[in-house]
Amino acid sequence: MNHPCYICGLGSSVPSRVLTNADLEKMVETSDEWITARTGIKERHILDENANGSDLGAEAARAALAEAGLAPEDVTHIFAATCTPDHLSPSTSCIIAGKLGISASSGQMGRVMCMDFNAACTGFVYGLELARATLCLHPEAVILLVSAEALSRRTNFGDRSTCVLFGDAAGAVVLRSSCEKPLWNVADVSCASDGALRDLIQIGGGTASPIEVGSTVGPEWFVTMQGMAVFKHAVRNMAEESQKLLERNGMGFEDVDLFIPHQANLRIIKAVGERLGLGEDKVFANVQNYGNTSAATLPVALADARKAGRLAPGMKVLLTSFGSGMTWGSALLV
């Protein structure tokens, strides 16, 4: 039996430290003009040395729980979408649970399931699908979906073709099958991938990058990317997946109040909007302020769009994303 999947609370968190295009001009051979023209990005937020992605995730989660009127001990599941976890193990979701004070004795079902997953920049969309499936099995579940990313920790600040693109951020939502004041219902989600394209974007540092105590790491530990190829796949896949999702729900783009695509590059955002025939007033962009924060872009954009008065509960929102894998997907919130 299908149960509704309501977003009952939403939160976001970005570090206070800002890295501007002018700062990058001092680090690599680049210019504000080039970065603005090719990406639209003006600044990104970067973690301080003593903080990690899980700190941002925990702060976003606290805000989402507060809006949902829930305490940490009400949570039954934490799903963390991240391609930049604090550690290979323990999971960022377990670390967030610890930071929120959630332990084995809390949780309305007597225990809490914590799990990380890596769908790169598509993590939030994939996470909405995980939440929908979980609520079918456990309609009483209180799910925290947290996108927590620390891309600056895997950015090669000597490589001008990638270091201008990324930033750190987290966003979180609380998902339940019933809710007094829901923000949105996650009406439908579609997720896809193509492993044949796995080499287009990579972040090393896993077990395929062996290392010995005392040795230094090479550039393969950082983000590498075939930018133009990614650009083309991103535009095509986000447009086609969004179209398919609307069609199977008997809707057209005229029914959508706000389209929020993955925030990687303003040119990609504009190209997708144009391909779908959407006016600029229907397409949300905040990549200028944060750069690409991978799985965190969509919940942060939802929170910013609401703050900017462009979104209200119950408005029809179409989310879409793409990322390393390659993965891509779309979600319809009503």
Any idea what DSSP says for residue 212? Answer: -
Two structure tokens written together for 66? 């507060």
**Touching ligand ACO, residues 261-290 (CB under 6 A):** 264-265, 268
Site string for ligand ACO, 80-109 (x = CB under 6 A): ---x--------------------------
294 binds ligand ACO (CB under 6 A): yes
**127 vs 105: CA distance, rounded Å:** 25
120 binds ligand ACO (CB under 6 A): yes
**99 vs 148: CA distance, rounded Å:** 14
- Contacts of 216-223 with C-beta under 8 Å, sequence gap 24+, read 219/156, 219/159, 221/154, 222/154, 222/155, 222/156, 222/159, 222/162, 223/151, 223/154, 223/155, 223/156, 223/162, 223/166
321 binds ligand ACO (CB under 6 A): no
Residues 6+ apart with CB under 8 A from 52: 86, 95, 150
Nearer Cβ to ligand ACO (30/288): 30
Q: Which residue from 30, 32, 324 is spatially nearest to 206, judged by alpha carbons?
A: 324
155 binds ligand ACO (CB under 6 A): no
Q: Which residue from 80, 170, 120 is spatially nearest to 323, judged by alpha carbons?
A: 120
**Touching ligand ACO, residues 46-85 (CB under 6 A):** 83
Nearer Cβ to ligand ACO (11/261): 261
Catalytic residue (choose from 121, 163, 179, 191): 121
Nearer Cβ to ligand ACO (185/226): 226
Two structure tokens written together for 94? 């377990």
5 is catalytic: no
121 is catalytic: yes
201 binds ligand ACO (CB under 6 A): yes
114 is catalytic: no
**Touching ligand ACO, residues 233-252 (CB under 6 A):** 234
Residue ranges in contact with ligand ACO by CB under 6 A: 30, 34-35, 38-39, 83, 120-121, 160-161, 164, 201, 223, 225, 227-228, 230-231, 234, 264-265, 268, 292, 294, 323-324
